[in-house]
Amino acid sequence: MPKKLPYGQSDFVKIMGQNYVYVDKTRYIELLENENNTYQFLLRPRRFGKSLFLSVLEHYYNLNAQDRFEALFGNLYIGRNPTAERGMYAVMRFDFSGIDTEGHDTFRASFSFCVRICVKNFLEKYANLFPNAERDIEHIMKGVSGTDALYLACTAAERAGVPIFVIIDEYDHFANNLVAMGKMYKDEVKAGGTVRAFYETLKKGTSSVIKRIFITGVSPMMLNDLTSGFNIATDYTLFPKYNEMFGFTRDDVELIMAEAGINRDLIKVDMEAYYNGYAFSEYAGNKVYNSQMILYLFNMVMQLGEQPKQIVDTNLKTDYGRLRRLADGEGNRQKLLQIILNGKIAVSIKEKFSVDDLQNEDYFVSLLFYLGMLTIEPGEEQIYLKIPNYSIKTLYWEYMAEYLKNTEEGVIDSGRLEETVRNLACDGDMMPFMNYFSESFLKRMSNRDLQKFDEKYIKAMMLTLLFTSPLYLPVSEDETINGYTDVYLQKHPAKRAVKYEYVFEIKYAKTGAAAAEIAAKFAEAGAQIEKYKQDPRFAGRGDIKFAALVFMGKGDLEVRR
């Protein structure tokens, strides 16, 4: 009987008890337990399975759950190789994903309430160990501060001689919203603030009863801003041995498909290109999939019996919608444009930075890495950060489309654009789109904009427009056996009406270029196209059209097929 997909599931007990697929990550419990520092910090982008792993930790170390150990862990790595500290702790878990950030008062009240509820749940779960648990719970619910509630729980555990393992999920979930509100972030996170007071109390607890801490989130920014409020944890984010701790490897994906009974023939999209590509260390052996992305695809295939029209999880767009807000300042916007044009950027990853550092472009790019919008690609002499996959590329193109809408030079006429793309798709006529692109964008560029014009800039603008249509999945720098195409317009696998695909090779010449120079551009483009045609995917196909495009000056265009 096929197992159920764990799409949207982060409750380990439910997964193990209700016939869900589980990708065994429990070997990392052993690795973490053997680290010298028992106060640990590990970051990953959203939707990589962090909450599920924390649920695994919670049940593995829970001293009240030892009678369920075999049922939960018996068939897993850690069940066959239990560690010395299994079932030794009262586990106190915090989740800061739902904090209200509308204003100072609402944030403080919401944060404090969240802490109180987590402490209350802790005392209820271990009431058998704490003689005064009922009284303490009543005291907490009368409205003491979250910090006082945490102190009360630590005191109760110390009196009972019970060691605590603190787990914090989404420690920085509210930080980006606070950053957008300016001074409020500094007031709450730095000295004297609500968040700072919580972590100072947590740190004090490590001198007595808190023996282990494991914290996850997305960015190191907030932890760094806490400074001495919480400076005891070791950050294992970039350690190569933890590269595959979150997300799925290729083997994991194969296991999920086999155990869930996924019909591979129903999946037309290139899963490697769309969902894989993440590396969190320059020494990583394997790249990993975003687990939410791939589970979304599998879930939709099982629900619909075919590949969905929307192959990028809409939740992803919600998560990364903060890109426009974070790209504040001309320097950061230029970095984004550079990434869009080149697909990667040479920069060293900043392991620690403050909110005040984000106006520095290098720190901003590091934040994009932590958000999952860039990933590590080792070079011969330096490290690059590159866009990990096609799904993330769409988010950059969305940003670019929004940028174009807000400039004086170009206005996207959605109706006309869709009509011209339909000409491409159904009639095999590329000229309506090319004319629209030249007239509506290139010819409206200012002379200042022309100074940065080149083939990559034109290609990025073209891909941005094409991305807004649901008929194609535009690919930049698609790899063939003889090089990389500038633009490959790939059919959307769910759009049966699309008859034609395209490969465009783009060249650019400045205004007034001589005829000989133009001819040389076409000759170069033509030679590249002939090489692309030899790729087995393109050979002998009548539904794919190749074209050399030479743009000149401010939007003039010649096309040769």
The pTM (predicted TM-score) of the whole model is 0.89
Output DSSP code: residue 401. Answer: H
- Per-residue confidence (pLDDT) for residue 323, from 0 to 100: 66
How far apart are the C-alpha atoms of 305 and 374, rounded to whole Å? 33
pLDDT tier at 332 (50, 70, 90 boundaries)? confident
Instruction: Write down the mean pLDDT value for the chain.
Output: 88
If DSSP states are collapsed to H, E and C, what string results for 157-226?
A: HHHHCCCEEEEEECCCCCHHHHHHCCHHHHHHHCCCCHHHHHHHHHHHHCCCCEEEEEEEECCCHHHHHC
Q: pLDDT confidence of 85, banded at 50, 70, 90?
A: very high
Looking at per-residue pLDDT, the higher value among 85 and 512 belongs to: 85
What value does the mean pLDDT take over residues 438-447?
71
Cα atoms in the Cβ-side hemisphere of radius 13 Å centred on 381? 0
Q: How confident is the model at residue 181 (pLDDT cuts 50, 70, 90)?
A: low
Q: What is the pLDDT of residue 320?
A: 58
**CA-to-CA distance for 400 and 385, rounded, in angstroms?**
19
When pLDDT is cut at 50, 70 and 90, the band that residue 462 belongs to is: confident
Q: Give the confidence band of 396 by pLDDT, cuts at 50, 70, 90.
A: confident
Tell me: the pLDDT tens digits for 16-49?
999 999 999 999 999 999 999 999 999 999 889 9
* Stronger pLDDT, 409 or 370, i.e. the higher one: 370
What integer is the mean pLDDT of 417-433?
93
Residue 334 confidence (pLDDT): 80
User: pLDDT, tens digit, for every residue of 290-299?
Assistant: 999 999 999 9
Structure tokens at 76: 């897993």
CATH of domain 24-242: 3.40.50
pLDDT tens readout for residues 336-367:
888 887 888 998 899 988 888 888 888 889 99
The pLDDT of residue 300 is: 94
Predicted local distance difference test score (pLDDT) of residue 325: 66
Q: What stretch of H or E contains 53? A: helix 50-61
Question: What is the pLDDT, as a whole number, of residue 246?
Answer: 97
Share of the chain above pLDDT 70, in %: 93
- The pLDDT score that the predictor gives to residue 174 is 85
Domain locations in the chain as residue ranges? 24-242, 412-561
C-beta separation of 77 from 60 below 8 A:
no
**Cα-flanking dihedrals φ and ψ of residue 471, to 5°?**
-85, -25
pLDDT tens for 97-121 read 888 888 888 999 999 999 999 999 9
Q: Is the pLDDT of residue 404 over 70?
A: no
Position with higher pLDDT, 124 vs 539: 124
The stretch 553-559 carries a mean pLDDT of: 82
182 falls in which pLDDT band (50, 70, 90)? low
